[in-house]
Amino acid sequence: MLAELLFVPIVLALVAMVFVVIDYRKALQEWSAPRHTICPRDNSPVDVQVDARAAARTAAFGVPIHVRLSGCSHWPERAGCDQRCLRQVSPGHTAVAVKTA
């Protein structure tokens, strides 16, 4: 009797976990590629790596995605910057057009 009562909640929990894993893997794939963008500090091209695991963890649970850098071609010289370049990146974004004067 108890097993029959627990069957539906267990199945629902498993289905929910499948969706969480699917969302996690999708977000991980979208955020894991290196991005080419412009450093707002000196307007120079820069290659950045987003912390894909942190972005995927927040995306999988339906909360606003928390994005931070895990690497930058200007590091370690400029490590600890305010990471304003993150405003230019989005999931699946790999490049940005560079304006020339």
DSSP 38: E
Question: Distance between the two ends of the chain, CA-based, in angstroms?
Answer: 76
Contact 67, 55 (CB under 8 A): yes
Q: Please state, in angstroms and rounded to a whole number, the distance separating the CA atoms of residues 23 and 59.
A: 7
Segment (H or E) for 71: strand 69-72
Position 96 in a domain: no
Q: At what angle do helices 2-31 and 52-60 cross, to 10 degrees?
A: 140
With respect to residue 13, please indicate whether it lies within any of the assigned structural domains. yes
- Mean pLDDT, the chain, as a whole number? 81
Could you tell me if residue 17 is inside a domain? yes
In-domain check, residue 47: yes
State which amino acid sits at residue 64: P
Mean pLDDT, residues 40-63 taken together: 84
Tell whether the model's pLDDT for residue 2 goes beyond 50. Answer: yes
**pLDDT at 98 (0 to 100):** 39
Which structural domain, as residue segments, surrounds residue 74? 2-88
Identify the pLDDT of residue 95: 43
| Rg over CA atoms, the chain | 19
In-domain check, residue 101: no
Give the pLDDT confidence of 62-84 residue by residue, as tens digits. 777 778 888 899 988 888 888 88
